[in-house]
Amino acid sequence: MKTISLEGQIAVVTGASRGIGRAIVEEFVQAGADVVIADLADIPQDLLDVVKQHGRRALPIKVDVSKVEDCNQLIDTTIAEFGKIDILVNNAGITRDALLMRMEEDAWDAVLAVNLKSVYACSRAAIKHMMKARSGVIINISSVAGIMGNAGQCNYAASKAGVIGFSKSLAREVAGRNVRVNCVAPGFIRSKMTDVLDEKVKQAVVAQIPLGRFGEVTDIAQAVLYLASPMAQYVTGAVLVVDGGMSM
Ligand code: NAP
């Protein structure tokens, strides 16, 4: 059986203490990568134990990705500790939902800073090392909200659509240096982010999903693993939608 290997690769994953980010870390270490686990929150010991069980190295870093200095420091520390960065996954994200009429400026600014400015800042810091190495992969976590729109999420949808435009532009800038840039656009995935939705909303969402259920964090992590791996070596500027068919 053909398996995906990331043996010898160094991966940085943001927002990785839980949810989709954590699942990505777990897939990466199973595939043989060492990981920098970056989050605003403390990295839970049981995640560090999982990395250890697979014989891989983890470097936990506390970072606020909405701050450019933190993003620069994240990549600088990665280079100082591991000497290179092969894979960057910009996964950290937040929601501050409200109808536009009631959406205050701070809810707009916070979501754009965490979901979009962070992608600029971390990618900018990483790309110079990848271009020098003539190798690297960036995967940005967008959302179907950035493709379809979603009432109550003007800020979130704008940030996630921005991530797609950013990724395609950067993919064109760096393809000549063998650096690939892609997006994964999840639909509704079971995580802390969607746990807060009330039961009626969840039922209405499920009714719009041809596969008839919310996705799991592993569904997204496996798509990210594919894009990070040599199996996707001819894939750049793509948006891989993983949404149970919701947006087709
Ligand atoms: P989650 O469970 O809320 O996890 C998000 C993680 O990002 C948390 O660990 C959070 O840390 C961290 N984070 C938030 N702000 C940060 C900051 N400023 N700096 C560093 N880390 C920060 O969400 P998730 O469902 O796994 O979502 C992961 C990504 O997928 C997000 O980009 C999200 O927009 C996207 N997505 C999710 C869904 C879904 O249905 N779940 C659908 C489409 C797209 P704290 O614990 O400190 O807050």
| Collapsed DSSP state (helix, strand, coil) of residue 207 | coil
The class that CATH gives domain 10-188+220-242 is: alpha beta
Average pLDDT over residues 125-149: 98
pLDDT score of 235: 98
pLDDT score of 159: 99
Q: How far is CA 196 from CA 81, 110, 152, in A?
A: 38, 19, 14
Q: What residues does each domain of the chain span?
A: 10-188+220-242
Residue 94 φ/ψ, nearest 5 degrees: -135, 165
pLDDT score of 184: 99
pLDDT score of 2: 78
pLDDT in tens, 184-231: 999 999 999 999 999 999 999 999 999 999 999 999 999 999 999 999
In the reported structure, the alpha carbon of residue 95 is separated from the centroid of ligand 1 by a whole-number distance in angstroms of 8
In the reported structure, the alpha carbon of residue 13 is separated from the centroid of ligand 1 by a whole-number distance in angstroms of 11
In the reported structure, the alpha carbon of residue 191 is separated from the centroid of ligand 1 by a whole-number distance in angstroms of 9
Average pLDDT over residues 1-8: 90
Choosing from 18, 116, 155, 156 the residue with most ligand 1 atoms within 8 A of its CB, the one to mutate for a pocket test is 18
156 annotated active-site = yes
Give yes or no for residue 243 CB within 6 A of ligand 1: no
Task: Spot the catalytic one: 120, 156, 226, 234.
Answer: 156
Cβ neighbors of 181 (< 8 A, separation 6 or more) are 123, 137, 138, 139, 140, 167, 168, 170, 171, 174, 236, 237
Give yes or no for residue 244 CB within 6 A of ligand 1: no
In the reported structure, the alpha carbon of residue 40 is separated from the centroid of ligand 1 by a whole-number distance in angstroms of 10
pLDDT score of 1: 77
Q: Please tell me the residue having the least CA distance from ligand 1 atom 6.
A: 15
- Please say whether the beta carbons of 68 and 121 come within 8 A: yes
Average pLDDT over residues 138-164: 98
Give yes or no for residue 182 CB within 6 A of ligand 1: no
pLDDT score of 3: 87
Residue 241's DSSP bridge partners are 185
Residue 78 φ/ψ, nearest 5 degrees: -60, -45
pLDDT in tens, 47-67: 999 999 999 999 999 999 999
